[in-house]
Chains A and B, each alone.
Chain A
Amino acid sequence: MIRCELEITLPFGVHLEPATELIGYIKRSESNVSVIIGDKEVSITGITDVLKLKLHSKKWVIFKVTGPDEDKVMQDIKRCIQKERSQNR
């Protein structure tokens, strides 16, 4: 299991496209992903789980990934929510 506190650096937060992309990575992986905010831990399995988190730009959240490909998934998550988007749609 790995945990990582990450800052959302996408200029307009995790809106529909990055959220879909994020879910794409998670669904293709063999790991379980959850997000910890305060006392609550939310398991991420579908797009609505991501959207409900209201991941605004510059928000910090803790991602927890458990599974055989956890390192790769964490890297994908980082890339997804932190990459600079020249084509931010």
Chain B
Amino acid sequence: MRKIGRLYSSIIYQNVGVLITLGLIRVLFGDYGLYPNKDLLSIYNDMILYLVPVLLAYTGGRLFGNSRGGIAAAMTVFALALSSQAPMIIGAMLLGPLVGLIFAFAEKRLEKWIPPGFELFFGNLLVAIFGLTFMMISYKFLGGFLASIIHHILVIMETIVAEGWLPMTALIVEPLKVLFFNNVINHGFLVPIGIQEAKETGRSVFFLVEDNPGPGLGILLAYLIHSPKTMRKNTYLSAIIHFFGGIHEVYFPYVLKNPLLIFAAIGGGMAGNYIFELLNCGLVSVSSPASILFMIILSPHGSLLNNVIGIFLSALVSFLLALCLLQLSKRRTVHIENDKMLKSLGSAVPFSYAESEEAISEEAVPTRPIQTIVFACEAGMGSSALAAAMLRKHLKEHQLEITVSHCSVNAIPANAELIITHRQFYAMLKRDYADKTVIKINSFVDEREYHTVIQFLLDQQTEDTVDLHPHQVLLNAKAKDKEEAIRQVGQRMVDLGFAQSSYIDEMLEREKHFTTYIGKGLAVPHGMTESRQAVNKLGIVVAVFPEGVSFDGHDVFIAIGIASHGEEQVHLLSIIAQLLDEEEALETLKYATDYQTVIQILKKFGL
């Protein structure tokens, strides 16, 4: 079911541009448009009768049978369109992928019979044979049959509206929507019906049923009031992205975290649908993404105010219901959790942050620094585009030069090294792309998710950058005091180009303020944070003092000097801390007489 939904979403999303053009022509030149013009409106009729079905069929056919499958599907649906006066949107959605699938199957079966060098010839011949056959079938038989089915569906839908049942659709639409079936319901069902209806009447309320941003906005605003200050920024950002950016997926985690809120979504949806029905609302075409801005543009002349009233009221109802439900669930949380601090956070935490961190630690096994990251979402155009943009911003802040793109979960590019996706697609992508690193995130707007990804990338870059060579090891070193020891380590860092000579003074300065001895005969001399300009590149130097050097009364046998720009230091220190737990390794290091032993031990810990 979800696969079919993804297929239809993919077809519709790739053709959203032409659907919006249809809407704009209606808004501008339609009978009730701003500048009514029958001549220009005829473009609309031809587009919806022929161009749109053919484009949808081509896109669907190409998904299975590549471009040749797409062409065969386009020809089939063109014949279908000629056979009837009803726009064959639903026919194109059904036949396009089907013809592509059959074409791909036949092409694969015939592949072995084609003599080498004749691939292009036979490939094109196959398209012609397939195209002709399916055109005949469509023109002679399927056209009339599908037209009759479409007629019946439209009659049912009109009855739903005429009998006042439209509000009830929220009972099905809203729960399915937050379970991420939004694209399935909308692009698989409501949009094709809507396009069909808009052809007849110039507008369709079905473009508003799922796309209405009111219920989600109400829930997010209620969360905004209910959240502690630390959470407000994310909720505020979610509300903006949801309402103006049209990416509704951002509010789903808030409902899933607190399932009672589904009643707020249903209430808001029902209120909105009731108003839409009462005031004869609708849009001239699909609003994709479902942003309020697009909805304003695609509102037919004279209906803008009605549409806005419907959306506003559904947001208001959803907001009030969500406020009550959040209050209720907060009380329950207080009773259940005997935990002071978490009480204050309450239900405002939309997901468990720890989950995403687990996903990274379990799955990340890249063998070299990641250069290409791909965000994947259902259609590859909404939430993944937003997430890619947000990650790019964070990468820039951390001066990480990594390419980030976005795509549909069905079209992961071959060069992707790291795939980041919503948790609903995680299992599927992990299975299909076992050779790539896959990370799941729970919310595309939560800043913390991006920090986790950045930290993972930073760790990975650090792991790669710190590479130990024998010249980074000072064996059998001797120093009369810690100043001399630090100067030896610092000088080697300068000689190796890790830092400028002023860094040595910075290291000594730090030591005056604060000892870098961390226990068990180990010290980590390094400069002050302000001295990072004196650091050229990340690097370490290891000095072994078999006779020991006194660091403020502590005997130091191993000094690991660090030249870092800042954040990498936390990673290096964590590795050194692990080394401190290994008595045997420390003892071996203290008395090491060859470079290889030192390097082997340090590399074992990840340095």
Our pick among B230, B345, B451, B514 for the contact of A17 (Cβ within 8 Å) is B514
Chosen A-B contacts, 27 in total, with CB atoms closer than 8 Å, are A3-B339, A3-B341, A3-B342, A5-B342, A7-B448, A13-B567, A19-B573, A39-B358, A46-B519, A47-B518, A47-B519, A47-B577, A48-B578, A48-B580, A49-B577, A51-B573, A52-B578, A56-B455, A57-B567, A58-B448, A59-B451, A59-B455, A60-B451, A74-B341, A88-B529, A89-B513, A89-B514
B607 within 8 A of A: no
Instruction: Give the CA-CA distance A78 to B571 in the complex, in Å.
Output: 21
B280 interface residue (CB < 8 Å to A): no
Q: Quick check: A13 and B514 within 8 Å, CB to CB?
A: no
Contacts of B530 in A (CB 8 A): 88-89
The proximity string for A residues 19-35 relative to B, scoring 1 for CB distances below 8 Å and 0 otherwise, is: 11000000000000000
Query: Is the pair A60, B566 in contact by a Cβ cutoff of 8 Å?
Result: no
Q: Which residues of B contact A19 (CB under 8 A)?
A: 573
The answer to whether B577 touches A48, judged by C-beta atoms less than 8 angstroms apart, is: yes
A80 at the binding interface (Cβ < 8 Å): no
* Residue of A3, A7, A37, A48 with most chain B CB atoms under a 10 A cut-off: A48
Task: Tell me if A5 and B341 are in contact (CB < 8 A).
Answer: yes
Q: Tell me which residues across on chain B come within 8 A of A51, comparing CB atoms.
A: 518, 570, 573-574, 576-577
Closest to B341 in A: A4
Q: Are A54 and B357 in contact (CB under 8 A)?
A: no
Q: Which residue of A lies closest to B354 (CB)?
A: A38
Bits for A47-78, please: 1 = Cβ < 8 Å to B, else 0: 11101111111111010000000000010000
In the complex formed, the residue of B with least CB distance to A1 is B339
Contact A89 B510 (CB under 8 A): yes
Output the nearest chain A residue to B458 by Cβ-Cβ distance: A56
Q: Which residue of A lies closest to B576 (CB)?
A: A51
* A13, A38, A47, A88: the one within 8 Å of B361 (CB): A38
Q: Which of B157-207 contact A (CB under 8 A)?
A: none
The 6 closest A-B pairs by CB, nearest first: A51-B577, A4-B341, A13-B570, A48-B577, A12-B566, A58-B451
* Chain B residues with CB below 8 A from A53, complex form: 574
**Chain B interface extent, by class:** 35 or more
CB of A60 within 8 A of CB of B448, answer: yes
CB-CB contacts below 8 Å: B42-96 with A: none
A residues with a Cβ closer than 8 A to B are 1-5, 7, 11-17, 19-20, 36-39, 46-49, 51-60, 62, 74, 88-89
Contacts of B518 in A (CB 8 A): 16, 47-48, 51
Query: Total A-B pairs in contact (CB under 8 Å)?
Result: 106
With the chains together, A58 CA to B567 CA distance in Å? 11
Beta-carbon nearest neighbor of B578 in chain A: A52
Given the contacts A48-B519, A59-B455, A37 and B567 also touching, CB distance less than 8 Å: no
Q: Which residues of A contact B510 (CB under 8 A)?
A: 89
Question: CA–CA, A54 to B14, complex, Å?
Answer: 43
User: Would you list which residues of chain B between 467 and 520 have a CB under 8 Å from chain A?
Assistant: 510, 513-514, 516, 518-519
Interfacial chain B residues near A14, Cβ < 8 Å: 570
Name the residue on A nearest B580 (C-beta): A48
B340 at the A interface (CB under 8 A)? yes
Look across to chain A and name the residue whose beta carbon is closest to the beta carbon of B337.
A3
- Report chain B residues within 8 Å CB of A55: 570
Chain A minimum-CB-distance residue to B565? A12
Partner of A15, one of B345, B569, B581: B569
The reply on B524 being an interface residue by CB < 8 A is yes
Q: Which residues of B contact A46 (CB under 8 A)?
A: 519
Is B390 positioned at the interface, with any CB of A under 8 Å from its CB? no
Q: How far is the CA of A11 from the CA of B77 in the complex (A)?
A: 60
Across-interface contacts of B573 in A (CB, < 8 A): 15-16, 19, 51
Q: B459: CB under 8 A from chain A?
A: yes
Is residue B294 within 8 Å, beta carbon to beta carbon, of the partner chain?
Answer: no
Q: Is the CB of B354 within 8 A of A37?
A: yes
CB neighbours of B345 from chain A (8 A): 5
**Residues of A with C-beta under 8 A to B528:** 89
Q: Which of A39, A49, A56, A89 contacts B570 (CB 8 A)?
A: A56
Nearest CB of chain A from residue B229's CB, rounded to whole Å: 12
Interface residue? B263 (CB, 8 A): no
Beyond A5-B342, A89-B528, 13 extra complex contacts between A and B, CB < 8 Å: A11-B529, A12-B529, A12-B567, A12-B569, A13-B567, A13-B569, A13-B570, A15-B573, A38-B361, A60-B353, A74-B341, A89-B510, A89-B530
Which of A3, A19, A38, A52 gathers most chain B CB within 10 Å?
A38
List B residues 448-468 near A (Cβ within 8 Å).
448, 451-452, 454-455, 458-459
A73 to B577, CA, bound (A): 24
Residues of A within 8 A of B519 (CB): 46-48
Known A17-B514, A38-B357: A48·B571 in contact at CB below 8 Å: no
Complex CA gap A79/B307 in Å reads: 50
Measured between beta carbons, the chain B residues less than 8 angstroms from A60 are: 353, 448, 451
A10 CB to nearest B CB, Å: 10
Measured in the bound complex, the distance between the Cα atoms of B574 and A52 in whole Å is 4
Instruction: Give the CA-CA distance A36 to B566 in the complex, in Å.
Output: 25
B566 surroundings in chain A (CB, below 8 A): 11-12
A54 near B574 (CB under 8 angstroms)? yes
Chain B residue at minimum C-beta to C-beta distance from A89: B528
Give Cα A72 to B230, complex, Å: 21
For the complex, give the distance between the alpha carbons of A43 and B349 in Å.
Answer: 25
